[in-house]
Chain A
Amino acid sequence: MKSLGARHALASYRASVLHLFRHGSTIGTTSPSTFSVRRQLISSTLSKRKKLYDLEIYVSQSPSPYFNLSFEDYLFKQFPVYRSESTSSTELAKKVLLLYTNHRSVIIGRNQNPWRETNVQSLRANNIPIIRRKSGGGTVFHDEGNANYSVMMPSNAFDRDEHALLLCRALNPVLSQRREQTVLSVNERHDIVDQDARKVSGSAYKLQRGKAYHHGTMLLNSELEVLSKLLHHSPDGGLEEVDGPGVQSVRSPVSNIGISNAKFTDVVIHAFEEAYTSVSNNTLKIRYVDEGSITKEEAPEINKRIEELQSWEWTFGSTPKFVHRFSMADSTPAVSFTVEGGIITDLESDLPEFAENKDTIVGIPYRGAEVASRIGCKLWKQRLLRSI
């Protein structure tokens, strides 16, 4: 059994070799090698070798993370399910590309714990929404300087690195024109990193029957100091601990690539068009969407998803069961809350202010204001309001 790192490295290596094979060095025909090389040099033979798709491109002009994630989920629902027997050789499979940019928000992965990954109260104080997405992976910070891309494909075409590699190949020529020699590549964690191994893009995936999507961020001109402050959960100076299952984020040093949103959109659309459509087909379908331009048929589905994303039950209530431990300044345990489905199911404490109020606290949702209102001690009230 290989370690996770080795398996990823092998998978990326395999993918890059496969990619070279598909698009570059060898042409798998029976013609003599000299003839093949000449053909490759002369014509755009590559365009005949690449896998073509019925490509649909959507560009969202809404800055609302709720709308954008809901629209993405809706597009995924509409994406056809491909069974292995149904792919005919004449019909092209569909591929969807969605590009969007959100205003300031923190997006956590489907199986993460927001109390562990972020400082919930400080985000609330700064008016930054926390949103739980449907795909896996870790926590990311979005703002107007961060662009997001989402690619939907049939499950038999699912590849974790293919589109990240495509983006690298498309962006590297643009970045090399600038003074700083920025060179992008994909690492074994399927992130896009620059030449100093700083992360510029993170990826997450979702797989369902017959279809899958890969979406990722791209740091263009993001406010990195704000990002590091918000995603650094400093649990009350080390006196707090969140214990429980769920996916934990892996921290990485980050960097911006410094091109404009418009330029990025342009480069990505052009790269996808070149890779997945034939040269002769000039009718590229690009649809620009926002809250005002969705159709009457689409509206109820999208609004339903917006409501779900905004609900406390989905964002906080669907956190896997955990125990949140608070300690005193001298590190002796003070109180620990057991939270299941966002509701406090147990409380353990030797302190009188918690022990005597246990009956009123157990059973309520795990929200700072609600718990604090049931505690008499002012210091604890403040501390809980800061931390929950």
Chain B
Amino acid sequence: MSSHKNILTATTRLAAVRSRSSAATRSAARVPLLHSRLYSKPTPKTVLWQRSTVRQTAPTSSLLSVSVTCRRNYVSSKDEETPEGLRYTEEHEWLALEDGNLAVIGITAYASKALGDVVYVELPTVGASVVAGEPIGAVESVKSASDIYSPVSGEIIEVNEQLDKKPGLVNAEPYRRGWICKILIKDTNELESMMDNNGYETFIASS
């Protein structure tokens, strides 16, 4: 996924440079051809093909705006920085309650940005029992192995196997598809000591 992003970024930048430098040489004859390609269904492969052929013909500003929009839709996260309704720890983990005692755990957008592109997530074992504050896994990014700590005590019910093939989900959607594991909480009193979104925002602003 990250290599795909790099291709998108590189070609967008190249298109920007070329459009600036070759603005004078754009010919009207080429424009209708480009438009017909633009209206074809944009699957990722098609989008790349469009952009790679565009490099040989001078790109128009309309194509540039299309390529920027495509990139934004494919890669962007619609997540807020610190969503409401979740609880947070000082180790930059978030917790969401699902069905009573079942909690979903992940790392915050702040942490995933600070870590850089995640290349591997070491997930805990299903069925393992965890204690609050103990490490339950790790995230690797930019040659750094960073431990993840469990905010609560309980048993690991499920882990996000999608992260095996797509560790980049932790960066792209830290609160949605980038969740790490689900824990069955033993003692809900532990949730009291966690911060809410305002508390967490104050914490990261002060550190």
Interface residues of A (CB under 8 A from B): 1-8, 83-84, 109-111, 134-138, 156, 160, 190, 203-209, 245-247, 320-321
Contacts and interface: CB of A to CB of B under 8 A. Distances in A.
Interface in B126-144: 135, 138, 140-144
Given A136-B142, A205-B144, 12 more contacts: A3-B9, A8-B116, A137-B143, A190-B142, A204-B143, A205-B143, A206-B146, A209-B147, A245-B164, A247-B140, A320-B120, A320-B164
A247 B119 contact: yes
Contact of B143 (A3, A136, A246): A136
Interface string B149-190: 100000000000000110100010000000000000000000
Contacts of A1: 5, 9, 75-76, 171
Nearest to B146: A207
Q: Does more than half of chain A's interface fall in helix, strand or loop, or is it mixed?
A: loop
Looking at B2, B135, B144, the one whose CB has the most chain A CB atoms below 10 A away is B144
Interface of B: 2, 5-6, 9-10, 75-76, 90-91, 116-117, 119-120, 122, 135, 138, 140-147, 149, 164-165, 167, 171, 206-207
Q: Which 3 A-B pairs have the closest CB atoms?
A: A137-B143, A205-B144, A136-B145
A111 B6 contact: no
30 contacts: A1-B76, A1-B171, A3-B2, A3-B6, A3-B10, A5-B6, A83-B90, A84-B207, A109-B143, A109-B145, A110-B138, A110-B140, A110-B145, A111-B140, A135-B144, A136-B120, A136-B143, A137-B144, A156-B207, A160-B144, A190-B142, A205-B145, A206-B145, A206-B146, A207-B144, A208-B135, A208-B146, A209-B147, A245-B164, A320-B164
- Greatest chain A CB density within 10 A among B90, B119, B141, B143 is at B143
A211 to B, nearest CB: 11
A246 B120 contact: yes
Contacts of A205: 142-145
Contacts of B146: 206-208
Contacts, number: 88
Contact of B120 (A3, A111, A160, A209): A111
Contacts of A320: 120, 164
Given A4-B116, A84-B206, A110-B138, A207 B145 contact: yes
Contacts of B10: 3
A343 to B, nearest CB: 14
Nearest to A207: B146
A190 B143 contact: yes
A320 B164 CA distance: 9
Contact of B122 (A111, A156, A208): A111
Given A1-B75, A320-B164, A247 B144 contact: no
A204 B138 CA distance: 15
Nearest to B77: A1
Contacts of A321: 164
Given A207-B147, A245-B165, A136 B140 contact: yes
A150 to B, nearest CB: 14
Contacts of A8: 116, 142
B91 A209 contact: yes
A134 B147 CA distance: 11
B136 to A, nearest CB: 13
B144 A136 contact: yes
A111 B167 CA distance: 13
B69 to A, nearest CB: 14
B147 A208 contact: yes
A245 B206 contact: no
A83 B142 CA distance: 24
A4 B149 CA distance: 26
A2 B6 CA distance: 8
Given A134-B145, A160-B142, A207-B145, A245 B167 contact: yes
A109 B120 CA distance: 12
B2 A4 contact: yes
A190 B143 CA distance: 9
Contacts of A207: 144-147
Contact of A245 (B120, B143, B145): B120
Contacts of A4: 2, 6, 116-117, 142
B8 to A, nearest CB: 9
Nearest to B145: A136
Contacts of A247: 119-120, 140
